[in-house]
Amino acid sequence: MKRFKGIALVAIALLMGVVYLLPAASVNAQSSAALSITPKKNYLIEPGKSVDDTLIIRNLDTSTALELSLRVVDFTFTDNGGTPKLFLDPDAPQTTWSLKPFTTIPESVVIPAGGTKTVKMKVAIPANHGAGSYYSAIVYSSGAPAGGGNVGLSASGVTLVFTQIPGQVTENLNLKKLGLYDTAAQGKLDGYKFIVDKQPSTIGYTLENTGNVTEAPVGSITLKDLFGRETKITEVNPSGSLALIGQTRTYNACIKLASQEVDFSGGKTTASTCVSPGLWPGYYKVSLDIFYGQNGNLTKEITGVGSFWYLPLWFVIVFLILLAAIAITVWRLYVGIRRKLSGAQSRKALRRRR
Amino acid sequence: MHHRLVRFHHFAFIKWRHVWTPEFLALLLALFVFVAPASASTRLENRSLFMTSNQPGATTSYTVGFRYMTPTPINSVDLLFCLNPIPYEACVTPTGLDVSTATLSAQVGEAGYSILSQSTNHIVLSRSQAAIPASTPSSYTFDNIKNPTDVTQSFSIRLKTLASSDGTGSQVDFGSVRGQVQSSIYIETQVPPQLIFCLSREVELGCTNSDETYYTDMGQLDSESTLVAKSQMAVGTNATAGFAITAVGTPLAAGTSVIEGLTSPTPSQPGVNQFGINLVQNTAPAIGGDPEGIFTNSAPTPDYGIPDQYKYVSGDVVAVSTNVSLMKKFTVSYIVNSSPNLKAGVYSTTITYIASGRF
C-alpha cells in the first residue's frame, strides 16, 4: 500500500510538472518576425453606413508561425513629411479625427509558417455623424522576444486607415513656402534653397492645412528662365500625398520624373524617381497653381511665385573670366579713347599756337 | 569722328557719371530679375463640383457651380474634362469618363443655356440672348455622365465663359473645378500595395530567411570598453508614398538604474553611460554595415546615418523611403558604455521596430 501511495504521488507530481511546463513552453515559443501587410486603406463612408473589408497578412517565415496582436491606435504627423506619429500609449487621449470608436478588428491572429491569412475588419459610421476626414492606424505586433540577453527585438507593422465622410466640410490650405527644395531635408522647412551649385531636381511647396479634412492638392508648377523658356511640372503630387488636419506639409515635385517598371513581390509596380532636368545655369522663376476641394464643396485654387538661382562652379568661373575680359576690353577702349582725345586736343592746341 | 567720340565720352562718363553708380546698376539688375509680368486673366469664383455618386464608372449627375466675374455679355460656356486643371496644358481625358450623352437637367442663376455640342470629354453650353451675367452664383446640373474609373487620380473640369454663342473666340473668364472618384472599398487593378518587413539578428534581403534570433547578449559591462551588438531588418514596399521605420522602447535598464539613450548623434565614449544605435558601417567601434539593396531612395534618417555617431530616442524614425522601394536591408548597430560607478545589475531592453506606410 505504502509503495502504491509512493508511485501515485510520483505520478501526480510528474503530471503536475508536465501540466505546469507545457503552457510555459507555449508562452516562450517565439513568433516569426517577417510579415507582409497592406500599408494603407482608404474608405468613403456615408453617415449611418459601414464598410466590411479584409486585411491580408502574410507570414514570410517558412518555418515559424506568426503570432500577431492587433489594436487600433490614433496617429498624427511627425513633421512636414508623410511619416505618421503613432500614439502607442494605451492611455493616450483620443484624437478628434479618430476612427477608433468606429473600427472593429480581431485582437489577435496566428498565421502559419509561409501562410497568408485574411482578417475581417469593419468601419461603421454612426448616423448623423459630421462630414470630414477620420483616420487611425492598425498596429500588428509580434510580441516581446523569449529568451535572455540585453537587447530584445520585436517587429510591428502598421496599416494606416483613412475614411472620408462626405458632406459640407471646412477646407483651407495656405501656401507657406515655394521654391527649390533639397530632398535630403526630408520635409523640413530649411530644405528650401535660393542658390544652388548642383543641378536642381526638386521643387518644394509647403501648405498649412487649417481645415477639418485631409487634402491632396493637384495642379502644376512652371519654371521660367531669364530667356522665357518654360519647364512644366504636371505631377505636383504624384503619390496623392495628404496634408493631415493641422499639418504644415511640404510636397516635393520632381522637375523631371522618370518612371520604371520593377518587380516587387511577384508583381510589377511602377517606381518613379527624379532625374536631372538639364537646366541651364541662371535665374529661375517658379509659378505654382494648385487646386483642392472635396466633392460638393468649393474647388479652391492656390497660386504662388518663388525663385532660385542655379549657379554651378564652372559657370561662375566662366562668368568671372568673361566679366574680367569685358572689363579689360572696356578699360582699354576707355584708355584708347582718352589717349586719342588728349592727342587730338594737344594737336589742336599746337595748331592754335602756330 | 573725334567730335562724336568727345560727345559720347562727355555724355557717358561726365554728364551721367552720377547716374551710373554701382548702386543704380544693381537696382536695375534686381528690377530686371524680380519684376513679374502682370496677369490680365479673371477667374470664375465660388467654383464647385458635386457628383451625386463618386463611385468609379457609375452613371450619375454632376452639378457645376461658379460665379461669373466679368460684366460682359456671355453667350456660351465651355466645359472640358481633363486630368489636369491647368487651362493651357494638354488635356488628357480621364479614363472611363463619358459625357457624350449627358443632358442639361437644371440651371440656377444665369440660365437659358442648352447643350450646343458634346463629345466624350467636352460640353459646350450656348444661349441665344446675350446678357450680362448676374454676380450671384450659378449652377448647371448634367445627368447621364459616366464617372472616370481611376480612383488613384483626381480629374478636373476646365471652365471658360465666352461672348460668342458657339464656344469660339477668346474667353472672358476661366477656372477649373476638381473631382475624384472614390470606391468604398479600394479595388485593386494591379499588385495591391504591400509593405514587407522582417527583423532578426540576421535576415536575408528579401525576408525569405533569418536566423530567428530576437535577442542578443552583449556581455559584461566594463567602464573601459564598449559593448556592441547588431541586428538586421529588411523592408520594401510598392506603395507610392513609401515607408517609415520607427524604433520604440525604453533605454537599457536594471531596475531603477538606467543607461540613458543618447539624445543627439554622439561618438562612443567608454567610461560614460551611453546607449545608442545607428544604421551604417562604423569604425569606432568597428561594427555595423551600410544599407544593402539597389534602390537608393530608402535610407537611414539623417541622425541615424552618421558613421561612428550613435543616438537613441524612443519614437524616432530611423529609416525612411518617400516612394516605392524595392527590398532594402538595414544593419542596426548598438553600443553600450558604462561609467565606473554604474549600479550593478543585468541591463536589458526590448526595442520594437515599427514599419508603417506613409500618407
Non-local (6+) Cβ contacts of A132 within 8 A are: A97, A164, A165, A167, A169, A212, A213
* Overall residue count recorded for chain B in this entry: 359
* Residues of chain A positioned with their CB less than 8 A from the CB of B50: 295-296
* A38 inside 8 A of chain B by CB: yes
pLDDT band at residue A308 under the 50/70/90 scheme: very high
Size of interface A-B (CB pairs under 8 A): 307
Counted residue by residue, chain A has a size of 354
Question: How much is the ipTM here?
Answer: 0.82
Weakest-pLDDT range from A162-166, A171-175, A188-192, A223-227: A188-192
Give the nearest partner residue to A45 out of B152, B184, B353, using CB atoms.
Answer: B184
Return the percentage of chain B with pLDDT > 90, whole number. Answer: 59
Same domain, B173 and B297: no
d(CA A129, CA A99): 12
A137 and A185 fall within a common domain: no
What number is the average pLDDT over the span B230-235? 95
Residue A20's pLDDT band (cuts 50, 70, 90): very low
pLDDT for A319 equals 93
Q: What is the pLDDT of residue A272?
A: 84
Query: What angle is formed at CA A28 by the lines to CA A23 and CA A30, rounded to 5 degrees?
Result: 130
Count of structural domains within chain B: 2
By the 8 A CB rule, do A201 and A276 touch? yes
Is the residue at B39 inside a domain?
no
Query: Are B150 and B56 in contact, with CB atoms under 8 Å apart?
Result: yes
| pLDDT of residue A148 exceeding 50 | yes
Same domain, B147 and B218: no
- B51 and B122 share one domain: yes
Same-domain check for residues B81 and B217: no
Q: What band does A344 get if pLDDT is binned at 50, 70 and 90?
A: confident
**Predicted confidence band of residue B177 (pLDDT cuts 50, 70, 90):** very high
Mean pLDDT, rounded, for B51-58 = 88
**Same structural domain, A190 and A141:** no
Separation between Cα atoms, residue B312 and residue B274, nearest integer Å: 9
C-alpha cell of residue A46? 456615408
- Cell 497578412 belongs to which residue? A57
Treating both helix axes as pointing N-terminal to C-terminal, what angle do A313-353 and B2-9 enclose, rounded to 10 degrees? 120
How many structural domains compose chain A? 3
Give per-residue pLDDT as tens, A43-60: 889 899 999 999 999 999
Mean pLDDT of A172-192: 86
Taking residues A133-138, report their average pLDDT: 96
Report CB contact under 8 Å: B193, A78.
no
Best CA proximity match to B79, nearest among B168, B167, B157: B157
User: In terms of domains, do B204 and B337 share one?
Assistant: yes
pLDDT at A4: 58
Report, as an integer, the average pLDDT of B302-310: 96
In a domain, residue A13? The reply is no
Q: CB distance from B60 to chain A under 8 Å?
A: no
Which one-letter DSSP state was computed for residue B259?
E
Looking at the structure, tell me whether residues A85 and A41 fall in a common domain: yes
Beta-carbon separation of A61 and B212 below 8 A: yes
- How far does the CA of residue B234 sit from the closest CA of chain A (Å)? 9
Interface contact flag, A137 B198, Cβ < 8 Å: no
Nearest Cα neighbor of B333 from A151, A35, A146, A34 is A151
User: Is the confidence at residue A17, as pLDDT, over 70?
Assistant: no
Q: How far is A304 from chain B (nearest CA, A)?
A: 12
Q: Chain B window 307-336: which residues touch A at a Cβ cutoff of 8 Å? A: 315, 317, 320, 322-326, 334, 336
DSSP states of A73-128 as a string?
EEEEESSSSS-EEEE--TTPPPPTT--GGGEE--SEEEE-TT-EEEEEEEEEPPTT
Instruction: Using alpha carbons only, give the angle A99, A100, A102 rounded to the nearest 5 degrees.
Output: 70
Copy the grid coordinates of residue A294: 472635396
Q: Which of B100, B93, B91 is nearest to B59 (CA)?
A: B100
Cβ neighbours of B356 in A, within 8 Å:
39, 83-84, 86, 137, 157-158, 160
Q: Kindly tell me if the per-residue pLDDT of B185 is higher than 60.
A: no
Which 8-state DSSP code applies to residue A101? G
Is residue A73 within 8 A of residue A139, CB to CB? The reply is: yes
Mean pLDDT over residues A175-182, rounded? 95
* Residue B311 neighbours by CB under 8 Å, 6+ apart: B261, B262, B263, B264, B265, B266, B276, B277, B278, B303, B304
Chain B touched by A186 (CB under 8 Å): yes
Omega within 30 of 0 (cis) for the link into B192 = no
Given this model, what pLDDT does residue A19 score?
38
Report if residue A202 sits inside a domain: yes
Cβ-in-10-Å burial (0-12, 13-18, 19+) of A350 comes to exposed
Q: Is the pLDDT of residue B27 over 80?
A: no
Among A13-22, A168-177, A339-348, which stretch is predicted with the lowest mean pLDDT?
Answer: A13-22
Residue type, B216: T
Separation CA A341–CA A98 (nearest Å): 86
Task: Encode pLDDT of A191-231 as tens digits.
Answer: 899 999 999 999 999 999 999 999 999 999 999 999 999 99
Q: Grid coordinates 542655379 are at which residue?
A: A310
B36 pLDDT tier (thresholds 50, 70, 90) = very low
B291 and B318 together in one domain: yes
> Within this chain, do residues A292 and A319 fall inside the same structural domain, yes or no?
no
Q: Are B356 and B202 in contact (CB under 8 A)?
A: no
Grid coordinates of A230: 518654360
User: Phi and psi at residue B107, in whole multiples of 5°?
Assistant: -140, 130
Instruction: Report the alpha-carbon distance of residue A119 to residue B120 in Å, rounded.
Output: 41
Interchain CB contact of B295 with A (< 8 Å): yes
DSSP B57: T
Domain boundary, last residue among B179, B207, B231: B179
For residue B279, the enclosing domain spans 195-357
Tell me which chain A residues have a C-beta less than 8 angstroms from the C-beta of B191.
264-269
Per-residue model confidence (pLDDT) at position A21: 38
Average pLDDT rounded to a whole number, residues A20-29: 37
Q: What whole-number distance in Å separates Cα of residue A215 and Cα of residue A213? A: 6
Per the structure block, which three cell numbers stand in for B20?
551710373
Q: Is the pLDDT of residue A239 over 90?
A: no
Alpha-carbon Rg for chain A in angstroms:
34
Residue where a domain stops, chosen among B123, B148, B179: B179
Residue A22, pLDDT above cutoff 50: no
Query: Any chain B CB within 8 A of the CB of A24?
Result: no
Q: At A353, which helix (H) or strand (E)?
A: helix A313-353
Distances (CA, A) of B110 to A50, A344, B173: 40, 80, 14
**What integer is the mean pLDDT of A288-312?**
93
Query: Within a domain: residue B2?
Result: no
Whole-number Å distance between alpha carbons of A80 and B320 = 14
Q: Are B132 and B161 in contact (CB under 8 A)?
A: no
Same domain as A110, residue A188: no
In which band, very low, low, confident or very high, does the pLDDT at A165 lie, cut at 50, 70 and 90?
very high
- Closest to A38 measured CA to CA, from B233, B238, B108, B161: B238
C-alpha grid cell for residue A210? Answer: 487649417
- Range in A10-24, A119-133, A136-150, B23-37 the model is least confident about: A10-24
Min Cα separation B4/chain A (Å): 11
Domain containing A223 equals 173-311
Shortest distance, CA B288 to any CA of chain A (angstroms): 15
Give the whole-angstrom CA distance, residue B149 versus residue B58.
8
**Alpha carbon distance A278, A255 (integer Å):** 10
Shortest alpha-carbon distance between residue B24 and chain A (Å)? 18
The amino acid at residue A286 is: V
pLDDT for the residue A348: 78
Q: Which pLDDT belongs to residue A27?
A: 34
Using a CB-CB cut-off of 8 Å, the residues of chain A touching B13 are 334
From the CB of residue B172, how many other CB atoms can be counted at a distance below 10 Å?
23
SS3 category, B306 = coil
Closest approach of B31 to chain A, Cα-based (Å)? 13
Give the DSSP letter of residue B267: -
Whether the Cβ atoms of residue B199 and residue A153 lie closer than 8 Å to each other: yes
Quick: pLDDT tens for B126-157: 998 767 777 778 999 999 999 999 887 889 99
Q: Where are the alpha helices (DSSP H) in chain B?
A: 2-9, 22-34
Same domain, B208 and B319: yes
A138 lies in the same domain as A69: yes
Examine residue A281 and state whether it is found in any structural domain, yes or no.
Answer: yes
**Both B207 and B350 in a single domain?**
yes
* Dihedrals phi, psi of B36, to nearest 5 degrees: -90, 145
Neighbours of B28 (CB within 10 A): 11
pLDDT band at A150 (very low <50, low <70, confident <90, very high): confident
Q: What are the residues facing B246 on neighbouring strands?
A: B317, B354
Closest by CA to B158, choosing from B90, B57, B74, B103, is B90
- What residues pair up with B320 in beta bridges, in sequence order? B244, B299
The reply to whether A183 falls in a domain is yes
B175's enclosing H/E stretch is: strand B171-179
The answer to whether the CB of B285 falls within 8 A of the CB of B310 is no
Cell of A223: 519654371
Kindly list the residues from chain A whose CB atom is less than 8 angstroms away from the CB atom of residue B185.
Answer: 43, 51, 53
CATH of the domain at B342: 2.60.40
pTM of the model: 0.80
Give the per-residue pLDDT at B38: 40
B149 at the A interface (CB within 8 A)?
no
Q: Are residues B231 and B142 in the same domain?
A: no
Enumerate residues 179 to 218 of chain B having a beta carbon within 8 A of any beta carbon in chain A.
Answer: 179-180, 182-186, 190-201, 203, 207-208, 210, 212, 214-218
Question: Which long-range contacts (C-beta less than 8 Å, at least 24 apart) are formed by B340-345?
Answer: B340/B223, B340/B271, B342/B221, B342/B223, B342/B257, B342/B259, B342/B273, B343/B254, B343/B255, B343/B257, B344/B254, B345/B254, B345/B255, B345/B257
Residue at which a domain ends, from B152, B179, B206: B179
Amino acid identity at B293: G
pLDDT value at residue A29: 47
